[in-house]
Amino acid sequence: MDTAPQNPLERRLQLNIPLTLVQQETEGRLRKIARTTRMQGFRPGKVPYRLVVQQYGAQAEEEALNQLAQARFSEEIRTLQWRVAGRPNFEAVTSSDANSFEFSALFEVYPEVTLGSLAGRSLVRPVVTVTEADIDRTLEILQRQRVSYVMTDRPAANEDRVTVDFVGTLDGEEFPGGTGKQVPLVLGSGRFLATFEQALVGLTAGQETTFPLEFPADYQAAHLAGKTVTFRVTVGEVAAPVLPQLDDEFLRSVGVSSGGVEELRKELRENLEREVRQKVRGQIKDKALSLLHEVTPTPVPQALIQYEVERMRNEALEELGSQGNPMTASQLPDSLFVAKAERRVALGLIVAALVECEKLTTTAEQVRHLIEEVAEAYERPDEVVSWYYQQPQRLQEVESLALEERVVEWIYTQVQTEEVAVSFEELTRAPQ
């Protein structure tokens, strides 16, 4: 019997199993145990059956009930043609029938997705052209990554590297982490709090300064959060930045062995244009899927959200660990992931429904094109292409991406589109 659900996707079934079937299954398990079990004073397989029942009876009956309940549940689900999301929760129920074991199964089902209309909707398609100025800025970034410093007698300015000794006090007492000797610091880099770095601007080598500093309320060190401390800082050295010349040595350092600066600029243009394609594709995809999500409100099984939360948490823990910031699962609560997990699961269900409804497919050529786009960023693209085709799981991941692109293309055919010119800087500043 199906009772009233607690949420739109929750179902509860009342089911029963004949006790004779439970007894048969339990006895079968006990006979199997008896053939191999060991007990002090008896040879293997010679333990009296009554002793096997005493020791393993409860365990065998529990295992029998679990197996029979799952089988009975699966049988009923097939009859009802429901798609179960997650695992059912079984619970024994007091039965009025002395000849049967009665239990309830609480679970969620997948929603029936009704695709919303995109009629009258519009989407923007950014158009980006890589300019010579973009290449100039990228070239300057490469130079700044290889910057050197020379000692100077002038007052320190932003981008200078200073070497400092400092002592911080809270209520007149030094605090942990508040002292340092011969610490190098590039002003304006954000390595220290902005107030600390700006207090050093204008000082020359050998000068000392004392200033108050208020830590942010959400500062990572709880004992300092929101507190005002005093720092005494002595500047040891001031060094000015010097960018490297665009000579042969610099070109070799960035992997250009021939062709000079023009060859480097050509490679930078290719890299920037590749980055533009990826970012534009990401923005188009995000806008299209967000619109599809908006017009297709869909209830999402809580079990699937929890699975996705766990997956995202494990990814975050792995990434943090690789960055030298190991954390435990308890330090990353569900609340950090729930909203994003719910959106991902909902979109997965909606996209699957759209693919089925519109009979969207991909071709081997589309998959190959995506792989070659990834491969062209590597020194040996042919090896990268082979790497993808050597493993079915890798290939399947790219096939899923290709199908997702087909979905995005389909969405753009259903709406009004407008091309908007966007600079490279605007594109790279936009959140992904």
Angle CA 125–126–132, to nearest 5: 155
**How many domains in the chain?**
3
What CATH number does residue 97 fall under?
Answer: 3.30.70.1050
Task: Render each residue's pLDDT in the chain as its tens digit; 432 residues.
Answer: 444 446 889 999 999 999 999 999 999 999 888 888 888 778 777 788 888 888 888 999 999 999 999 999 999 999 999 999 999 999 988 877 888 899 999 999 999 999 999 999 999 999 999 999 999 999 999 999 999 999 999 999 999 999 999 999 999 999 998 999 999 999 999 999 999 999 999 999 999 999 999 999 988 888 899 999 999 999 999 999 999 998 888 999 888 888 889 999 999 999 999 999 999 999 999 999 999 999 999 999 999 999 999 999 999 999 888 888 888 888 899 999 999 999 999 999 999 999 999 999 999 999 999 999 889 888 899 999 999 999 899 999 999 999 999 999 999 999 999 999 999 999 988 665
Do 266 and 177 share a structural domain?
no
Do 277 and 156 share a structural domain?
no
Do 176 and 311 share a structural domain?
no
* 166: its two tokens: 């400092």
From CA 266, how far away is CA 259, in angstroms rounded? 10
Structural domain for 288, as ranges = 122-131+260-429
Do 421 and 282 share a structural domain?
yes
Do 414 and 291 share a structural domain?
yes
Do 393 and 316 share a structural domain?
yes
* 310: its two tokens: 């766990």
What CATH number does residue 201 fall under?
Answer: 3.10.50.40
Closest CA to 6 of 298, 296, 301: 301
Do 202 and 180 share a structural domain?
yes
* 245: its two tokens: 């010349």
What CATH number does residue 357 fall under?
Answer: 1.10.3120
Has residue 273 been placed in a domain?
yes
Has residue 141 been placed in a domain?
no
Do 269 and 181 share a structural domain?
no
Do 264 and 204 share a structural domain?
no
Within 10 Å of residue 121's Cβ, how many Cβ atoms?
Answer: 15
List, in sequence order, every residue forming a beta bridge with 149; answer none if it has no partner.
241
According to the 3-state scheme, what is the secondary structure of 21-49?
A: HHHHHHHHHHHHHHCCCCECCECCCCCCH
Has residue 252 been placed in a domain?
no
Which of 188, 210, 242 terminates a domain? The answer is: 242
Do 392 and 271 share a structural domain?
yes
Do 300 and 376 share a structural domain?
yes
Do 272 and 209 share a structural domain?
no
